[in-house]
Structure 1
Amino acid sequence: MTSILSHPDYLPYFNMLAGNEPEKILVDSDLDWGQDMNRLSARLHELGAREVTFNPFIMAYLEAGHGFPPLRETDPSMPAPGWNAVSLTVLHATRLGLYDQYPELTLWPDLLKPTERIGASTLLFYVPPAAMPRPAR
């Protein structure tokens, strides 16, 4: 029965108690196998995104293989204006690539509400240029 309830997210499903935010229990390859890259690409096209800032957990040919718009690298201290995608594994397991560096730095995805969630592994944020938050200290 739980397999049916997890459709279409069979790969990241691992526990009924995890609910809609399994990243609060476990991240890494248990959550993200790159299964949401086609969904993210399709959503970015629906939104008319001309570029996206994103550091995926799974390295792939996102532009050529999945039809992504041009990619920019994520800055852990501040989002880029426009569309920003955040892998929950990269956010929680590596602190957007900072790991143990700058433990006092609050990461911007912890300060902003996502525009939407793409599948089980990715948060999507839209940051209007006028609403850019100041860098965390």
Structure 2
Amino acid sequence: MPAMHPYLNFDGQAEEAFIFYKSVFGGEFAALMKFSDMPDADQVPENEKNRVMHVALPINEHTILMASDCMPSAGHVLKVGNNMYINVATDSREEADKLFNGLSEGGIIEMPMEDMFWGDYFGSFLDKFGIQWMINFTPAQK
């Protein structure tokens, strides 16, 4: 059964927001990666390197609050309405493909399902109703 997690977008305030959320919910970050941590970070403009590529704060055993900052140099523009995704964490690649293919039908694919440098199988899209989705499979760690 897939798990669903809220995924928020910010325009340079993700780290500040998540420090605040952590002060309210407690716990520790499961991930906090900056754009400076990604491959080819030397291609990232200096004023964007400290922006958050991905942050995850477990809220309970079933829910993880996640976010990233927009990357203006890549053409990302934050507007109220595009600042949230539904992130579906699947149990298998097959389930990820099934949900991605079904939910994205008639929509606009942002990132096709692919193996990502951080280790997950991931894709994102806007469905035909205007809802933003991320489909994610994390293989078991060896």
Q: How high is the TM-score relative to the length of structure 1? A: 0.26
Q: How high is the TM-score relative to the length of structure 2? A: 0.25
Greater strand fraction, Structure 1 or Structure 2: 2
